[in-house]
Amino acid sequence: MEISLQVVERIAKSLEPAFRFNGSVKQTYMNLIRYFHADPAFDGRLEKGLLLIGPAGTGKTFAMKVMQIYRTIDDTRYFHNGVACRMNYDIYHVNEIVRSFMTGGFDGVELYCKRYVACLDDIGSETEQVKHFGNSLDVIGHVLHERYARGLMTFGTSNFPPEVMEKKYDDRTMSRMYALFNFVVVNDIDYRRQ
């Protein structure tokens, strides 16, 4: 674990030179390292993805960027329908996904529904219902439904706790979120205000 933490810290400092481990940040990264190494000590279920939740500015998206690089060291994989798939992922902001639907309809969001591994950034901050030529859709709910139905690995970040998301999304979508994600709480200071 100490070597892994040193590597993670080097990656983080290459992206943000002011990065520092403090107590809660270190614990979050230790849990993420365990997850990406399929360590049984991970606090959750390894067959599910990750949803980092916590207040704005606490480093959730940054942590997923760090782990995006870190996971390439051992080329971590997960099994999908009996096939080992690389856990390569890109991070897509939910507003980018919504804009893709607004301009391209269902074809515009197909990439986000089919990619073996994807990270949806800032879940819950998107416009709830958008239209494309008269089709009204909860775009992120649709993407989550499709990813769940296809058994795809999904990561995400959100500023909202589950009880707030339950007011935004319908029961079906929330049920899919609980099936897709390990909810990882990130409690720390707002680094953007430091």
Q: State pLDDT tens for residues 62-84.
A: 999 999 999 999 888 888 888 89
Contacts of 192 (CB under 8 A, 6+ apart): 56, 57
Distances (CA, A) of 102 to 3, 90, 93, 112, 173: 45, 21, 15, 14, 20
**pLDDT given at position 94:** 96
Provide φ and ψ at 11, rounded to 5°. -60, -45
- Residue-wise pLDDT tens digits, 5-58: 999 999 999 999 999 888 789 999 999 999 999 999 999 999 999 999 999 888
| C-alpha 18 chain-centroid distance | 23
Do 145 and 136 form a contact (C-beta atoms < 8 A)? no
pTM of the model: 0.91
CATH class belonging to 45-193: alpha beta
**pLDDT given at position 134:** 65
Q: What angle do CA 91, 73, 56 make, to 5 degrees?
A: 35
Which DSSP symbol is given to 164?
H
- The number of C-alpha atoms within 13 Å of 101 and in the hemisphere containing its C-beta is 25
Strand order in the sheet with 153-158: 91-93, 117-121, 153-158, 49-53, 181-185
Annotated domain spans of the chain: 45-193
Burial group, residue 171, by CB count within 10 angstroms (0-12, 13-18, 19+): exposed
> For residue 183, is pLDDT > 80?
yes
Do 184 and 51 form a contact (C-beta atoms < 8 A)? yes
